[in-house]
Structure formats: structure tokens, C-alpha cells
Structure 1
Amino acid sequence: MFKAEAIAVDIDGTLTNRKRALNCNAVEALRKVEVPVILATGNISCFARAAAKLIGVSDIVICENGGVVRFEYDGEDIVLGDKRKCIKALEILEKHFDFELLDFEYRKSEICLRRNFDIEEAKKLVEGMGVKIVDSGFAYHITDAEVSKGRALLYVAEKLGIDPRGFAVIGDSENDVEMFKVAGFGIAVANADENLKEVADLVTPSPDGDGVVEALQFLGLIEQ
């Protein structure tokens, strides 16, 4: 059995359902875990930090799909991505699509958009601009091509003095793939994107938060 030194877990679609309701069984289970638990999300820093407090896990959060990291609740955001690249890409895309921006003023490393346009066509239009467009399942994100949850996890692991292969990670969507690749063990919940399931070491029988509980039980971090 894999022995996890730390856990990284996604929020939307993993700890929550499609209506973004937090699974209380998963919250209760995570509070019993004795190794560090880090939230890794496409959400902004203030949301992630509030969620961490509410759930009762570590103050360390990976936000904006890896573009921002924070180690202390009252600390400073560490920005790992270049939002200027994303703005240049947006200026190109605005000539072809009508957008609805989400949390633009609060995002420090990326641009978040409503899922109401052809993402594959958009990807072609910004090819070679040093950005990528990621589907979190809840929104589209224009991010610096150098940014991912995986790279942020490597950054966090180094700062904590933990081998990234000592992390077990739990997620549901495309933006979790790189995190699965750098961690020691990746668990996809049942409702996960098929691309994520392909790189996962385990797929849980149940979706979202109930799947998180099953993942923690499999890892031996909580009792059956």
C-alpha cells in the first residue's frame, strides 16, 4: 500500500458535487487525516483559504490552477504565472468570441471565463502565445503555459522538504493531470474526466466527496 506523507486534493467536482455543494462526509474524513492536506484548485486565493479554514485542513493552498501558492493564511500570495501573457491571448480571442469574465480583478496569474464558447477553436487561435486553455469542468482558464498544478505541487513539496512522490493526490478534471504525473499516487473520483482516469493509479467507485472518503480509506489514512 502507498504510504502518503501528504495529500493534495481538488475542490470543485472532487470535494463538491456539480452544484458546488461541499460533501460533509469528505470534510469529516479529511479532518481525521494526520498528514498535511493541501487544497489544489482553479479557484482564487481568498476562496481557497476560506475553504481550507472551513474544511479544517492545512493553510497551504495551490490556487488558480497552480499560478498562485500560499503557505500561511495571513501570508502573501506567491505568483508563479504571468497574467500579461493571458491578457494578450484574450485580446486575440475577443475578436472571435463573446466572453463572460469571471473574477478577473481577483486573479493574479490567469484569466477565467464562462464555458460558453468553442474551446478547441480557441486553443488553435492562441497557439504559440505561451499560454494554454484549461477546462476545469466549471470554467475555462487561460493560463501561462509554464503553470500547472503539478509544477505548483513540486514548488510546495520543495518548500516543505517532502519528496513530491510522497504525495497522494485526489481530483476530477483535466487541470489535475499534471499533478497526478508528479505525485506518487493519483486517485480520480468516479465522476472524473476520462483523461484524468487514464493517468490515475486508482478510480474510486463513488463520485466527488464520497469518492474522496473511499480514497482516504484505501490509503489507510482513515478507518473503513
Structure 2
Amino acid sequence: MTADPPLVLDIDGTLTRPEGWGIDPRVFDPIRNWEAPVVIATGKAFPYPVALCHFMAVPELVVAENGGVVYTGDDVFFTADREAAQAVLEDYRAAGYSSGWGPENTVNRWRETEIAVNLEQPVGPLREIAAKHGLEVIDTGYAYHVKDTNSNKGDGLETIADRVGIDLGAAVAVGDSVNDVSTFRAVGRSFAVANADETAKAAADEVLEEVHADGTLAVLERVRGSA
């Protein structure tokens, strides 16, 4: 009997409902019942993917904050720190702008290595300020992420693979954004959902006809037992 291949799954735009907000509950059972390691690789703050793994009852293998935080289930690795990104945000505020998340700012409250800014905020000044601090800004379609230029999901995935013993050549990844390109390069097969940005589509081995979780579910059905 053939085995399921390892999976690497993004969250926003990939496990979400077609309207783009909230996890589609249809993904829970297929992921929970997957017979190979499942890595959640996301731009979300560290606690979110850990909680998702917990509620899906799968091992907590996580690449968070676009590679800034890597969790192998036993050890946490940080590839950047928040200090520089926070300085960018302070300069952005001093220039008259805002993160755009309101006073409680739960989007950034638990971030360890980067800062996310609402897409409704002007990105030009943000990029200029970030560059002065030696950082970059990436647009994931859900936020502008101010991050270290060296951190990425692909490198984080390789750290987990080395620690846990995952054959990335046999792994399958699904994503939707520029921050998934490094993941696509690290695995054997990669799929971009139909709602993906053009950079992700160009990097993927295949662009799916279905959007969001519909696309991910189609991949899971197709590759189950293919390893």
C-alpha cells in the first residue's frame, strides 16, 4: 500500500473559505487523517498555526511569520527579531500613518519577528521606511508584512525537515502568495490555488482550477496514497 506524501499547507487563501475569510471546516478531517507529516507554513503570527494544529489534532509542525519562527514540535527557532520591524512601524506612525488594525492590534500583538500592516494603508512610504532599516515589505494579499530579507518559509521548512526527518523531495505544497514561492522551490510538487497571485502561479508546478480550500481539497484527494 502506498503512503501519503508529506504536506506543506499555507493558511490564508489556501485553507480558507471561498470568500477568503475563516478556515473552511471541510479541511479538518482530511488533514487530521493524513498519514504523513503536515507542516503549516504561514505568514500569521506564531500562536495561530500552533492553535490550528492543536484543534485539528495533528503534530505542531509550524513555519510562522513568513519563516521568522520555526517550531518542530520540540524546539522553537527564530530567524529574525521584531525590534527592527517595530522601529519601521514607529517611523511609519511618526510619518502620519497607522498599522490599520485598531488600538488592540491583535494581528501584531503576538508576533515575534515581523510586523503586519493593513492593506488599506499606503505601501509606498512603508517600503521606503523599511528599506532604510534594511528590511523588506511583502504583499501576501492579506497584509503588508515588514520582515527580515533573509527569512522565508522554504528555509523554515528545511529546518523542520532536517529535525523531523521529512523527505522534501516527496512533499506536496499548496499556497497562494509570493511568500509561498520559497516553499514551492523546496518541495517535490507544488500547487497554486486559482486565487493565487501571479508570482505564486509562476513558481508552482501546477495552477489549480479551484480557489481557496476547494483547490487544496482537490489536491489532497489527488495525491493521497501517492508517495
Normalising by structure 1, report the TM-score.
0.86
Question: Contact 1:38–1:57 (CA<8 Å) still a contact in 2?
Answer: no
Aligned to 2:40: 39
Question: Contact 1:132–1:142 (CA<8 Å) still a contact in 2?
Answer: yes
Q: Any idea what SS the aligned residue of 2:150 has? A: coil
Mapping for residues 42-191 of structure 1, pairs under 5 Å: 42-72=43-73, 75=74, 77-100=76-99, 102-103=105-106, 104-127=108-131, 129-191=133-195
CA–CA separation in structure 1 for the residues paired with 2:199 and 2:124: 16
Q: Which consecutive unaligned segments of at least 5 residues does structure 2 have? A: none
Aligned to 1:214: 218
- Measured after TM superposition, the shift of residue 152 of structure 1 is 0.7
Aligned to 1:29: 30
- Measured after TM superposition, the shift of residue 220 of structure 1 is 3.2
Distance 1:192-1:221 versus aligned 2 partners, 3 A rule = farther
Q: Which moved more, 1:173-182 or 1:97-106?
A: 97-106
Task: Indicate the RMSD between aligned Cα atoms, in angstroms.
Answer: 2.2
Q: Any idea what SS the aligned residue of 1:43 has? A: coil
- Measured after TM superposition, the shift of residue 77 of structure 1 is 3.5
Q: Which consecutive unaligned segments of at least 5 residues does structure 1 have? A: none
- Measured after TM superposition, the shift of residue 105 of structure 1 is 3.3
Which AA in structure 1 matches 2:127? Answer: K
Q: Any idea what SS the aligned residue of 2:109 has? A: helix
Cα offsets for 1:147-176 (capped at 9, x unmatched): 111111111111123343332111111221
Q: Any idea what SS the aligned residue of 2:131 has? A: coil
Mapping for residues 188-207 of structure 1, pairs under 5 Å: 188-207=192-211
Question: Contact 2:130–2:146 (CA<8 Å) still a contact in 1?
Answer: no
Question: Contact 2:114–2:147 (CA<8 Å) still a contact in 1?
Answer: yes
Aligned length: 218
Which AA in structure 1 matches 2:97? Answer: D
**Percent identity between the two aligned chains:** 30
- Measured after TM superposition, the shift of residue 19 of structure 1 is 4.4
CA–CA separation in structure 2 for the residues paired with 1:33 and 1:105: 32
Which AA in structure 1 matches 2:40? Answer: L
Point out 4+ residue stretches in structure 1 off by more than 4 angstroms: none
- Measured after TM superposition, the shift of residue 107 of structure 1 is 0.9
Normalising by structure 2, report the TM-score.
0.85
Distance 1:156-1:130 versus aligned 2 partners, 3 A rule = farther
